[in-house]
Amino acid sequence: MTRTRTRSATPVLRHRARAPDAGQATVELALILPLVMLLLLALIQAAVVARDQLLVIHAAREAAREAAVDADPAAPARAARAAAPLDPDRLSVTTSGRGAVGSDVTVTVRYRPPNRLPVVGRLLGDLTLHGEATMRVER
């Protein structure tokens, strides 16, 4: 005798048991994302400060060159401000040692970069970047 199986008219709904770690990746991402964003902002702020430092060094070189060829005491400051796209209100230029032709003139440029980025700028505080260049007086 053979038996035949009959299917019931109502389908049986089978639920898969949920794993105990379901949603764990989402929670981990939510916990680590603020830290990743903070590190990204710190990296961007470091790049901005490094760029400003390079601009300050360039401004110091230009100011020293101008001081070496022009006896006007205001010439190095004008040259430093024109050399780089830095905020002139945050830039200071000092010249020392300019004497006769053949002597050395030293120019120091100081710059306080604005900390524009949120959170990281406040953590970093105020910086003062400086660049110095020395050249021989030509005229």
Res 119 pLDDT > 80 = no
CA 24 to centroid of chain Cα atoms:
34
The percent of residues in the chain predicted with pLDDT above 70, rounded, is: 86
CB 126 within 8 A of CB 112: yes
Of 12-21, 23-32, 93-102, 116-125, where does mean pLDDT reach its minimum? Answer: 12-21
- Predicted TM-score of the model (pTM): 0.76
Token readout for 108 is 């120091």
Q: Which helix (H) or strand (E) holds 136?
A: strand 129-136
